[in-house]
Chain A
Amino acid sequence: MPSSPPKQAGAPSGKAEAGGSKPSTAKAVANFRKSFQPWLEPDTAPFIEFRNVTKRYGAVTAVDQLSLSIFEREFFALLGPSGCGKTTLMRMLAGFEEISSGAIYLAGEDLSGVPPYRRPVNMMFQSYALFPHMSVANNIAFGLKQEGMAKGEITDRVAAMLALVKMQDFGSRKPDQLSGGQRQRVALARSLAKQPKLLLLDEPLGALDRKLREETQFELVDLQEKLGITFMIVTHDQEEAMTVADRIAVMNAGKLVQVAPPVEMYERPTNRYVADFLGDINLIAGRVKSQSKGVVTLETPAGQRLRANDDGVDLGNGNVWFATRPEKLAISRAKPAAKLNALEGEVWDIAYLGGQTTYKVRLDSGEMVKVAVLNATIDAHDPITWEERVWLSCPTEGAFALSA
């Protein structure tokens, strides 16, 4: 089961912010999303449940003793590097891969031995897998025809699906007459046409260019809210996962590393792998000196004292990492106030990124630290420049400790 510290309850998810500019009719939905945290309620029955699922290919274990619960109406993201087993996990849910051991339950029913065409699950494929010899409308109608739905009903549903993805005028086209973005929409419409209980999305936006991908991410979120279907997305793109998902599961080598909402995942990763995978992280080695009231004090090999959040984890008195995100650090020429964590060093490199500037600062202790500063806050007349001596600082809450 995912870790779920109560202090994170009520924190707005990235999704609620994304829907901020929506018309007031969607307000109720947005409010629902804000308080949508079924994983914190012990009585809620999971919609999908992986129980000790293992998948082996010969000697290779792709998924290793994995247990996970996903709830109804959740937008769940499986995130990890290629080869971590995320796609295998999804394909086992769709029924394309046999489980070596363990079981998957959907709405309380064991899916073992149920062929893909009998599962109330639809999938949108990474390659879209549109049938090249059929028109867009026939592609969308395909699943409905298998059900034996009446002709008139199929026509209506196809029209509704085309409207849903804003492709009304393209019903008679063949897939090879469409652009990549249009194909993506058709694939989405086809996978939604049967009104599945659960939609699986395998790297759905991987083939789109950056701008279109970002737009489509928000559209996906809107769509999922509107339809009230449970979505499970597989992606290697951390920004995509953070934009769309209610909860993210980070996978590595066939195991779940952490399962948490995006904010919690980013602000309070439970281990170094997650911290590193999701965004940039600065790590400074140290040894625990003391720990009390949620604050751990640690000492670097150079003898400097640093204070960080301990997230209620007993760190003992071994080696730990002092971890901060680049945007939590402030950079200044003057020595910061005594109560802040302060690090001294020299500007090594500066990257101007439009909205922000990233400084690479080489600390006197030898570590290279990244600092991200919003350009709106930088003094344009006298900016900090290359090879300057600077102080970096962050408050205790801006840092956390990771066990080594």
Chain B
Amino acid sequence: MSGVFKAVMGRAIIWLPYLWLLIFFLAPFFLVAKLSVSQTAIAQPPYLPVLTMGEGLSGWWADFKTFAFDNYAFLATDSLYWKGYLSSLQIAFISTLLTLVIGYPLAYGMARAPRTMRPLLLMLVILPFWTSFLIRVYAWIGILKKEGLLNQFLLWLGLISEPLTVLNTDVAVYIGIVYSYLPFMVLPLYANLERQDGTLLEAASDLGCNRFSAFWQITWPLSRPGVIAGCFLVFIPAVGEFVIPSLLGGSSTLMIGRILFDEFFLNRDWPISSAVAVLLLLILIVPIMLFQRSEARAREMAKGVGP
């Protein structure tokens, strides 16, 4: 009896994460997917059909027959959407490169700092997370606006004679994204660089390699898993970013997260915005899967299992 119980419990523990995914990921996703094939309606909620238990399976079947891909067809007809997707991918891509360029030296410096200093430096990277993300983005408005800190500082230095327009431009969006996602780049890079065996560099030096060359031949290739992890951790959420473009970006800053928000809250067109969300997920599935694969390969490498 207790053996059966143990077996059941063992299974349950294995299934628990799946159950979690089912409730908090798969079920909401199906709701959104269902919404995306529904029709807009002036009603509460603002779409049809609404799934109810009242009419049983036959009622569901009747509803199912009304599902259509009109909303997706509409996304294709209006250039706003595909321009939004492309612009989001572009902004996310450039932001990811910028985070890498800034984050790599930062992580490198941290990993090469005296051992006793490292926990402090790590703490400083994580510290911003203690404040609300929204408040930190708002703070950038104060810095970037016409009479903000940045312009005051540049005027005081005499580098500019009149205030620059930074806020409500793409530049402000880049600044916001790079600032917000920098820790996601630095942390995996630091974890990788800190673990690297220092004697490898000594060996390279011993074999006639100067420091610069040793970095490109040893440190950089060995840090590839960290670079890939950091880039995906920045790129994937940055594509769907909504808060930063809507607070810091201008009216011309096109990002899909913002379009989604507008469709949902301003147009109250839930089916269209759901279609936008589903398409975004499909676009991101490719990089997400690439990320998963490289993570799996990095784990295998760490275990010492060769190809």
Does B203 touch A at the CB level, under 8 Å?
Answer: yes
In angstroms, Cα B185 to Cα A55, docked, is 40
Q: Which residues of A contact B205 (CB under 8 A)?
A: 95-96, 115-117
CA distance A363 to B200 in the complex (A): 55
Tell me how many residue pairs across A and B have CB atoms closer than 8 Å. Answer: 61
Count of A interface residues, CB-CB < 8 Å: 27
**Contacting residues of chain B (211-245) with chain A, CB-CB under 8 angstroms:** 213, 217-218, 221-222
- Determine if B55 is an interface residue (Cβ-Cβ < 8 Å): no
A384-B15 Cα distance, complex, nearest whole Å? 70
* Interface check B54, CB cutoff 8 A: no
Q: Which of B202, B208, B304 contacts A176 (CB 8 A)?
A: B304
- The answer to whether B207 touches A146 (Cβ under 8 A) is yes
In this complex, the member of A117, A121, A177 whose beta carbon has the largest number of chain B beta carbons within 10 angstroms is A117
Cα A180 to Cα B51 with chains together (Å): 65
Known A116-B202, A127-B199; contact A143-B221, beta-carbon cutoff 8 A: no
B204 at the A interface (CB under 8 A): yes
Majority secondary structure, A binding face: mixed
Candidates B199, B202, B208, B222; contact of A143 at CB < 8 Å: B208
Q: CB of B197 within 8 A of chain A?
A: yes
The closest CB in chain A to the CB of B304 belongs to A176
A146 touches B218 (CB 8 A): no
Complex contacts, A381 vs chain B, CB 8 Å:
none
Q: Is B56 located at the chain interface by the 8 A CB criterion?
A: no
If A127-B197, A127-B199, A174-B306 touch, whether A142 touches B222 (CB-CB below 8 Å) is no
Interface string of A80-112 (1 = CB under 8 A from B): 000000000000001110000000000000000
Complex: chain A residue closest to B196, CB-CB: A132
- Is A307 interfacial (CB 8 A cutoff)? no
Q: Does chain A have a CB within 8 A of B120? A: no
Tell whether A122 is near chain B: CB-to-CB under 8 Å.
yes
Given contacts A132-B222, A174-B306, A177-B306, contact A146 B208 (CB under 8 A): yes
Question: Quick check: is B8 within 8 A (CB to CB) of the other chain?
Answer: no
Count residues of B near A (Cβ-Cβ below 8 Å).
Answer: 20
Name the A residues within 8 Å of B213 (CB-CB): 146
Most buried by B among A94, A142, A147, A190: A142
Asked if B209 is an interface residue, CB under 8 A from chain A, the answer is yes
B residues 152-191 touching A (CB-CB < 8 Å)? none
Please give the distance in Å from A169's CB to the nearest CB on chain B. 16
Contact at A131–B206, with CB atoms within 8 Å?
A: no
Interface pair B200/A129, CB less than 8 Å apart: yes
**Residue in chain A with minimal CB distance to B201:** A129
Kindly identify which residue among A96, A176, A177, A190 contacts B207, using a CB–CB cutoff of 8 Å: A190
**Residue of A142, A147, A174, A177 touching B204 (CB-CB under 8 A):** A142
Give CA–CA (A116, B199) in the complex, Å.
Answer: 13
B210 within 8 A of A: yes
User: Is A123 in contact with chain B by the CB < 8 A criterion?
Assistant: yes
**Which residues of B have CB within 8 Å of A147?**
208
Chain A proximity of B29: nearest CB distance (Å): 38
User: Which chain B residues border A117 with CB–CB below 8 Å?
Assistant: 205-210
| Complex contact A129–B208 (CB within 8 A) | no
User: Which of chain B's residues have a CB closer than 8 A to the CB of A194?
Assistant: 207-208
Q: In the bound complex, how far is the Cα of B205 from the Cα of A64, in angstroms?
A: 26
Closest B residue to A148 using CB positions: B208
Residue-wise interface mask of B (265-307) relative to A, using a CB-CB cutoff of 8 A (1 in contact, 0 not) = 0000000000000000000000000000000000001001010
Nearest opposing residue in chain A for B213, CB measure: A146
CA of A389 to CA of B222 in the docked complex: distance in angstroms?
68
Closest residue of A by beta carbon distance from B202: A96
Per-residue 0/1 for A144-175: is the Cβ within 8 Å of any B Cβ (1 yes, 0 no)? Answer: 00110000000000000000000000000010
Give chain B residues whose Cβ lies under 8 Å from the Cβ of A177: 306
- A125 interface residue (CB < 8 Å to B): yes
A176 to B199, CA, bound (A): 17
Residue A133 is within 8 A (CB to CB) of chain B in the complex: yes
Known: A115-B205, A176-B304, A177-B306. A129 touches B197 (CB 8 A): yes
Q: In the complex, A146 Cα to B217 Cα: how many Å?
A: 11
A187's nearest neighbour on chain B, judged by CB, is: B203
Q: Is the Cβ of A133 less than 8 Å from the Cβ of B222?
A: yes
**Residue in chain A with minimal CB distance to B218:** A131
A143 close to B207 (CB less than 8 A): yes
Closest to B205 in A: A116
Kindly provide the distance from the CB of A14 to the nearest chain B CB, expressed in whole angstroms: 29
* A-side contacts of B202, CB under 8 Å: 96, 116, 123, 125, 129
- For the complex, give the distance between the alpha carbons of A366 and B304 in Å: 56
Distance in angstroms between the alpha carbons of A143 and B204 in the assembled complex: 8
Q: For the complex, what is the distance from the CA of A116 to the CA of B301, rounded to whole Å?
A: 30
Other-chain residue from B199, B217, B222 in contact with A129 (beta carbon distance below 8 A): B199
Q: Which residues of B contact A191 (CB under 8 A)?
A: 206
Q: Which residues of A contact B203 (CB under 8 A)?
A: 123, 125, 129-131
Residues of chain A contacted by B199 (CB below 8 angstroms): 125, 127, 129
CA distance A125 to B207 in the complex (A): 12
CB of B198, distance to nearest CB on chain A (Å): 9
Listed in ascending order, the chain B residues whose CB lies under 8 Å from chain A are 197, 199-200, 202-210, 213, 217-218, 221-222, 301, 304, 306
19 A-B pairs within 8 Å (CB atoms) are namely A94-B206, A116-B206, A117-B206, A117-B207, A122-B206, A123-B202, A123-B203, A125-B199, A129-B197, A129-B199, A131-B218, A132-B222, A132-B301, A142-B217, A143-B207, A146-B207, A146-B209, A191-B206, A194-B207
Query: Which 3 pairs across A and B sit closest by C-beta, in order of nearness?
Result: A143-B207, A146-B208, A129-B203
Known: A147-B208, A174-B306. 8 other contacts (CB 8 A): A117-B210, A125-B202, A131-B200, A131-B204, A131-B218, A133-B221, A142-B209, A146-B213
